[in-house]
Amino acid sequence: LASAPAVHAAQPALRWRLASSFPKALDALHAAAEQVAQQVSAATGGRFQIQVFAANEIVPPFGVLDAVREGTVECGHSASYYYIGKDPTFAFDCAMPFGLNSRQQNAWLVDGGGMALMRELFAGYNIVNFPCGNTGAQMGGWFRREIRSVADLKGLKMRIGGYAGQVVSRLGVVPQQIPGADVYPALEKGAIDAAEWVGPYDDLKLGFYKVAPYYYYPGWAEAGPQLSLYVNRQGFDALPAEYRQILESACAAAHVAMQARYDARNPAAMKKLIEGGAQLRMFPRDILLACQKEAFALYRETAAANPQFRKVFEPWNRFRSEQHLWTRIAENSVDAFVGRHPVE
């Protein structure tokens, strides 16, 4: 059958630039921005083009929010917890230690009042935000030596970013900010003792297992870190209504696909890591409990000092608490059963 012709002569032709916080080497992260661009182009017969630039091509990785805010680029793809130095409230849009997993994050945003709160936060930065990807629960990081108790954290030099760095610093860890490419040599030389990165699929590429073989879980710091598409407010408002919808729907498709790619690719990567010598270890319970306690102490201190944070934290925390109980019943119980009782 011949397709009906679609003519777009009267729709505006637009060419946008998208600055990503991620290098092409983190291909599962980077692909989300490419997918948004591809679907937007396909849905508009090529009239609305978004050109994707990887980290540092036109904007440095942590400069994406400002670049979109100021209209240097029309849009960007980033992780909102990169901006907790501006306002810790940004962490709710990405990952809070011991916070929501990826499904719970979707639930909070779509139907739990979260999107209105995040839109209000981003409005203060001249940005319209859309969820655009999630890695799922990450791993807890690579350690040169086993960690047996809270006492082992004292003085530990660890590459760990954002809010989680603040949490573990309360237990004596010395958080380090080191670019991805420098982590391996720092671990190898013993300049640092441990490093948090992403999960098996991304971690395998950097080879950390060769120099820091103890691979800890669960990734309590990032139980469901979300990526977001940032759109400059004036640019968004100037779009035809059709293009606004097309952009939003394309973000949803990329949101599903990123998590799916990580989930599909992590098991084979984990197998290779273990074959290569990675030693899987679960964080001891006393460490998890101590980190959890410090995380919530930090949240409460932040809420006391920052009204914007408090306005989000209080409803988020009630939502989180109910979600954690519910997830334990339905989802966790079936996942746990099939995990413990494998069928070949």
The reply to whether 304 sits near a second copy by the rule CB under 8 A is: no
What's the CA dihedral at 265, 220, 30, 268 to 10 degrees?
Answer: -10
The reply to whether 21 sits near a second copy by the rule CB under 8 A is: no
> Which CB, 190 or 276, lies closer to a second copy?
276
- Please list every residue from 148 through 177 that binds a second copy, using CB under 8 A: none
> Which CB, 154 or 271, lies closer to a second copy?
271
Contact 48, 66 (CB under 8 A): no
Tell me the closest approach of the beta carbon of residue 190 to a second copy, in angstroms. Answer: 27
Eight-class DSSP state of 253: H
The reply to whether 323 sits near a second copy by the rule CB under 8 A is: yes
- Please list every residue from 99 through 128 that binds a second copy, using CB under 8 A: 101-104, 106-112
Tell me the closest approach of the beta carbon of residue 85 to a second copy, in angstroms. Answer: 25
- Figure out which of the listed residues 51, 56, 149, 333 binds a second copy, where binding follows CB under 8 A: 333
Cα 205 from Cα 185, distance rounded (Å): 14
For 56, 82, 120, 185, 337, the CA distances from 141, given in Å and listed in that order, are: 25, 18, 33, 16, 26
Instruction: State the burial class of residue 11 (Cβ atoms within 10 Å of its Cβ: 0-12, 13-18, 19+).
Output: middle
Return the closest-CA partner of residue 62 out of 196, 142, 179: 179
> Which CB, 51 or 234, lies closer to a second copy?
234
- Please list every residue from 172 through 211 that binds a second copy, using CB under 8 A: 199
> Which CB, 10 or 85, lies closer to a second copy?
10
- Figure out which of the listed residues 139, 183, 195, 312 binds a second copy, where binding follows CB under 8 A: 139
- Please list every residue from 229 through 258 that binds a second copy, using CB under 8 A: 234, 237-243, 245-246, 248-250, 252-253, 255-257
- Figure out which of the listed residues 67, 141, 261, 316 binds a second copy, where binding follows CB under 8 A: 261
CA 104 from centroid of its chain's CA atoms: 14
Tell me the closest approach of the beta carbon of residue 263 to a second copy, in angstroms. Answer: 4
> Which CB, 123 or 280, lies closer to a second copy?
280
The reply to whether 260 sits near a second copy by the rule CB under 8 A is: yes
> Which CB, 307 or 344, lies closer to a second copy?
344
Cα 75 from Cα 40, distance rounded (Å): 13
Cα 144 from Cα 159, distance rounded (Å): 12
Cα 48 from Cα 40, distance rounded (Å): 7
Sequence-ordered list of residues with C-beta below 8 angstroms from that of 269, at least 6 positions apart, any chain: 199, 200, 201, 203, 204
- Figure out which of the listed residues 83, 92, 220, 309 binds a second copy, where binding follows CB under 8 A: 220
> Which CB, 9 or 179, lies closer to a second copy?
9
Cα 221 from Cα 226, distance rounded (Å): 13
- Figure out which of the listed residues 265, 279, 284, 315 binds a second copy, where binding follows CB under 8 A: 265
Q: Considering only 18-26, 66-74, 189-197, 215-223, which stretch makes contact with a second copy by CB under 8 A?
A: 215-223
